[in-house]
Amino acid sequence: MLLDVHTHRLPQDAATALLSCSLRDVPVPPRAKFLSVGIHPWYITREDYHQQVEWVHEMANDKRVIALGEAGLDKRCTTPFDLQVEAFRNVALLAEERQLPLLIHAVKATEELFTLKKQLCPHNAWIIHGFRGKKELAESFIRQGFYLSFGEKYQPEALRTIPEDRLLLETDESIELIENLYRRAAQERTAGLEAFTAKVQETINYLFFKK
């Protein structure tokens, strides 16, 4: 199974997608097989923050939820940064409590994420979704214990550089098929498609389906 670890578009075969949802996506499609739920930094207000927190905590009991997020920090959006940090910490602590992977939206906030990770000392996986940074940034995240998920657009050198057991693939908002992203990534890493897919699947099984 080629799992798309972060998407906002449910494909025809729902079992191949980890659908990312927030309160604004209610009602959640009933045919979704796997869900991640979170509080996106773009869509938080002080007025609805507590409602979003309550929704995430309730949804965490849904058996389809195999990850939390996306949650994160984005210095390019208009949401007050202190509110972003509060929301992120809330979701991160819940992910740690439930021992679920955390899918992270990160824009221009690398050092703040590193600081939060050191403060919270999580035992669950923290995954940067849609990673587009350069090789050096990828290496920094790997040294700090993060996983990186690559979408349709990325820096090829970064994808080639990171350890194969820290690499995941996603479509996010793209209409591209996840199969094509696996094929392209295997070519970038000069790896056989079957062997590459098997290794990514091993990582997926470890992160999302080990319970």
**3-class DSSP string for the chain:** CCCEEEECCCCCCHHHEEEEECHHHCCCCCCCCEEEECCCHHHCCCCCHHHHHHHHHHHCCCCCEEEEEEEEEECCCCCCHHHHHHHHHHHHHHHHHHCCCEEEEEECCHHHHHHHHHHHCCCCCEEECCCCCCHHHHHHHHHCCCEEEECCCCCHHHHHHCCHHHEEECCECCCCCHHHHHHHHHHHCCCCHHHHHHHHHHHHHHHHCCC
Distance CA(197)–CA(182), nearest Å, equals 7
Mean pLDDT, the chain, integer:
96
pLDDT of 2 reads 81
pLDDT of 3 higher than 70: yes
Region 4-208: CATH code: 3.20.20.140
List, in sequence order, every residue forming a beta bridge with 169; answer none if it has no partner: 150
pLDDT of 179 higher than 60: yes
pLDDT tens by residue, 161-173? 999 999 999 999 9
How many other C-beta atoms are found inside a 10 Å radius of the C-beta of residue 198?
10
pLDDT of 211 reads 57
List, in sequence order, every residue forming a beta bridge with 102; answer none if it has no partner: 68, 126
pLDDT of 108 reads 95
pLDDT of 103 higher than 60: yes
pLDDT band (50, 70, 90) for residue 49: very high
User: In this structure, what token pair is assigned to residue 208?
Assistant: 């999302």
Between 193-208 and 178-188, two packed helices, what is the crossing angle to 10 degrees? Answer: 120
* Over residues 18-31, mean pLDDT: 95
pLDDT of 197 reads 96
